[in-house]
Amino acid sequence: MRSAVLLIAGVLVLSGCSSSGSSASPLIPDKVIQLTAKNSISLSRLATAAVVVAAIYVVYDPLAPNWEIEEARLNDTTYRLSMKMKRYHTGGSGESIQLLKRRASQLQYEQGFGSYQILEYTEGIDSQTIGARRVAEGVIRLVQQPQADSFLQN
């Protein structure tokens, strides 16, 4: 949604760069920046390039994490982790099981459990209108380590 608004705003700005048959001054002046003795660039081309780069940055967002995680607590020791990969990415397709294990280890440590078990794990592709997204889902259970006290075994 945010990217569509930015693209529409960019098109409106660029359409104001040159006007046909109008006596009003354009939104961006028809000036030229001299880069070298033989090379120059107009302000309208520079503005067009800036809008295109900004639109690509908003859609792709290289600083955003590759995966979104939704965590649901099913009971005191069981969690469901639902993960969705961002639409446009340059890698990270096989990270979902690592992500599940990393989050399970964090929960185990935070809550003082000795270990965890992966009860379910699935991966797939969610086809949507804009584009397909890789998804994964897992259920983990946090477990206590058995006590190794010899007096309890007698």
**What pLDDT, in 10s, does the model give residues 58-86?**
766 666 667 889 999 999 999 999 998 87
Task: Give the confidence band of 33 by pLDDT, cuts at 50, 70, 90.
Answer: confident
Percent of the chain surpassing pLDDT 90: 27
pTM check: above 0.75: no
Q: What is the pLDDT of residue 153?
A: 47
Domain ranges of the chain: 2-18+26-60, 67-143
The yes-or-no verdict on residue 13 having pLDDT over 60 is: no
Q: CA separation (Å) from 121 to 96, 118, 138?
A: 10, 7, 4
- DSSP line for 113-148: -SEEEEEEEEEEEE--SS--EEEEEEEEEEEPPPP-
- In 3D, which of 41, 44, 57 has the Cα closest to residue 16? 44
Pairing of β 40-42 and β 32-34: antiparallel
